[in-house]
Amino acid sequence: MFKKYSRSWERLSMALMLAGIVLLCQPWSLVLHQYSVAVILVGLIGFNIFSRFDHAKPEHTPNSMEH
């Protein structure tokens, strides 16, 4: 299960880290600023977990140049 979806979870973790940085730098809401470090840490932990799984190999599609 993890092998099939590991690339998606890895991208979601990267998006969480980026969102945490945006929340950290925004000046409008103190509540969002307070939770920004937690969001970054969840993304970082998720990235460390899911980047260790082998990604599912894409299926071979025939190339028109090959015979």
Instruction: Report how far residue 24's alpha carbon sits from residue 35's, in angstroms, rounded to the nearest whole number.
Output: 8
Give pLDDT, residue 53.
78
pLDDT digits (tens, 9 = 90+) for 27-49: 899 999 999 999 999 999 999 99
Give pLDDT, residue 44.
95
At 61, give phi and psi (nearest 5°): -105, 135
Residue with structure tokens 């920004």? 36
**Whole-structure pTM value:** 0.74
At 5, give phi and psi (nearest 5°): -110, 10
| Per-residue pLDDT band at 4 (split at 50, 70, 90) | confident
* Among candidate residues 18, 14, 2, the one with its CA nearest the CA of residue 47: 14
